[in-house]
Chains A and B, each alone.
Chain A
């Protein structure tokens, strides 16, 4: 109604330097609690409660049905770390991390650099490279199983190129199944990282690279000394997401190989679902999930502390 009055009042408030007194007094507690309640209830009941329960279960020998009586202390943990199959599963997770950082992320970066140039139709490439990310792991896994199966599309293509000796049991041979799977993972996720890096590249002022070109810098020099350092924050985020994703890898593996053949593609997550739901060793499987939680937390905190601290504030610990 009276604008000048409102303005005066606002100025008054600002001048007094008591901006928060407008909202954060004792009377707002009902508001605070009321607004937080739906989210807190949902979160407490379906995230915090189950996860804290799994810590409790991990100290018991328990089949998931009977009352919790068989306290075994740390036995589940020592059993896990002395089971060669679990250690093997951890190794697979780390192989995927290693390969992702060695191949998938650099490939995504290369594609981002390619599409950041004035290529005709680059919009189409960008949309299509990202498309697999929108598909479900189930669809991806089922289609690739068909492509990889003996006599499937891949074998036929290889035969068509006249190198029939190169056909393999892509998913059935324990020696290469993990690498076949890694290809599918990269197929599905590189577009996501590429889009992240494209967004990062857009933030780099073009005049820097132009100036370098004027000074006679080659493409590689400009990449090495300008683009990569300035893209650093984006690359570090990509690497982090890739590591956490690989540590917790499950759906795609479960659909494609269920961890087989002979555990050659088992990950920590498939191992724990296998022990929990197939063999009803809920206590033991809970211990494995606690290990995965712990590992993710340690990796995240270390990464946050030593790598990301310069770029981000307050993502995980604020």
Chain B
């Protein structure tokens, strides 16, 4: 953009500009990082240290908060259940959404657009707003205090976005490919399995990421459905610890840090896919 500017004055001005922009970016970075660092470091303090001096490095470093949680079986139970529920939800969404999207994308039949519209309407109704009737439905079929009471509704509420992402993807797969397969004697299941699924791997991984992240972070549904402490997921545990140890700030921060580490590690490892996955879901 500035490739045509010449002369010393311009160059100095450009440098200044660049420095100013840097300053802004670093300032925003600080606003993002400080709360996170505060939680991580706060876990290494005692609550009185935290009250006296929450800024800077802990002095001395206190490990009891973290060790206390890491040796706490109920913490690991929550980690396991969060993981299990996220996995199960994803394993349900992927086949259900891809089978339906395949038919909606590649077949012509009466009522197709109506079914597609029905699914897309679901984009407007998040679980939080529908949680009341959902709770009653789950009670009617005795799924309260059962992990499936979280898994099934979560999978159902993930379907709209998954189908909206998958349909155009399947549509873009050249028809010649499936037609050749038909001529070779492939049935629909074979085409779905050996052509559609392998070719739509990017879309499927986008959906898997969306589902895992949403499930891992889910709050209101597990809060209402899994009321027994031995059923809690990690977010419910965090919420509860923060309510239970109101004044023991350091314990709360240690617990919260441990809860956010898996998500952050996952994010930093697969950062590119996660960012494009989460945003592709939105734009579609």
Supposing A50-B136, A114-B24, A127-B271 touch, asked if A143 and B38 sit within 8 A by C-beta, the answer is yes
B21 touches A214 (CB 8 A): no
Pick the residue among B24, B100, B183, B264 that contacts A9 (CB under 8 A). B183
A36 touches B103 (CB 8 A): yes
B156 touches A42 (CB 8 A): yes
Complex CA–CA separation, A192 to B153 (angstroms): 25
- Which residues from B are CB-within-8-Å of A23? 106-108, 178, 182, 188
Stretch at the interface among A71-79, A83-91, A146-154, A162-170: A146-154
- Which residues from A are CB-within-8-Å of B108? 20, 23-24
A131 touches B264 (CB 8 A): yes
- Chain A 90-130, CB-CB to B under 8 Å as 1, else 0, gives 00000000000000000000010011010100100101111
The answer to whether A257 has its CB under 8 Å from any CB of chain B is: no
- Chain B 63-95, CB-CB to A under 8 Å as 1, else 0, gives 000000000000000000000000000001001
A196 touches B183 (CB 8 A): no
B1 touches A209 (CB 8 A): yes
B252 touches A142 (CB 8 A): yes
- Chain B 177-201, CB-CB to A under 8 Å as 1, else 0, gives 0111011100010001000000000
B32 touches A129 (CB 8 A): yes
- Chain B 20-58, CB-CB to A under 8 Å as 1, else 0, gives 011011001101111110110010000000010111000
- Which residues from B are CB-within-8-Å of A64? 136
Indicate the size class of the contact surface on chain A: 35 or more
Complex CA–CA separation, A207 to B274 (angstroms): 30
B130 touches A316 (CB 8 A): no
- Which residues from B are CB-within-8-Å of A195? 275, 279
- Which residues from A are CB-within-8-Å of B249? 146, 149
- Which residues from A are CB-within-8-Å of B219? 136-138, 251, 254-255
A131 touches B267 (CB 8 A): yes
B282 touches A134 (CB 8 A): no
A241 touches B54 (CB 8 A): no
Complex CA–CA separation, A307 to B24 (angstroms): 32
Supposing A50-B133, A129-B32, A316-B124 touch, asked if A35 and B99 sit within 8 A by C-beta, the answer is yes
B133 touches A31 (CB 8 A): no
Supposing A53-B136, A209-B1, A315-B164 touch, asked if A31 and B129 sit within 8 A by C-beta, the answer is no
Residue ID in chain B nearest A299 by CB atoms = B124
Supposing A192-B279, A282-B136 touch, asked if A293 and B129 sit within 8 A by C-beta, the answer is yes
| B3 CB, min distance to chain A CBs, angstroms | 7
Pick the residue among B31, B34, B216, B279 that contacts A196 (CB under 8 A). B279
- Chain B 135-155, CB-CB to A under 8 Å as 1, else 0, gives 111000000000000001101
Looking at B53, B54, B106, B180, the one whose CB has the most chain A CB atoms below 10 A away is B54
* Pairs A–B under 8 Å by Cβ, sample size 8: A50-B130, A125-B29, A139-B263, A143-B35, A143-B39, A192-B279, A196-B282, A248-B129
Seen from chain A, the residues whose Cβ lies within 8 Å of a Cβ on chain B are 6, 9-10, 13, 19-20, 22-24, 28-29, 31-32, 35-36, 38-40, 42-43, 45-51, 53-54, 57, 64, 111, 114-115, 117, 119, 122, 125, 127-139, 142-147, 149, 151-153, 156-157, 160, 187, 191-192, 195-196, 199, 209-210, 213-214, 219, 222, 234, 237, 241, 244, 248, 250-251, 254-255, 269, 272-273, 276-277, 282, 285-286, 289, 292-293, 296-297, 300, 314-318
Known: A38-B99, A153-B38. 19 other contacts (CB 8 A): A19-B179, A23-B108, A31-B103, A35-B100, A39-B96, A39-B159, A47-B130, A47-B157, A51-B130, A132-B32, A138-B259, A142-B239, A142-B252, A144-B35, A152-B54, A196-B279, A219-B1, A272-B129, A286-B132
4 cross-chain pairs, A with B, having the tightest CB-CB distances, nearest first: A136-B217, A46-B156, A39-B100, A50-B133
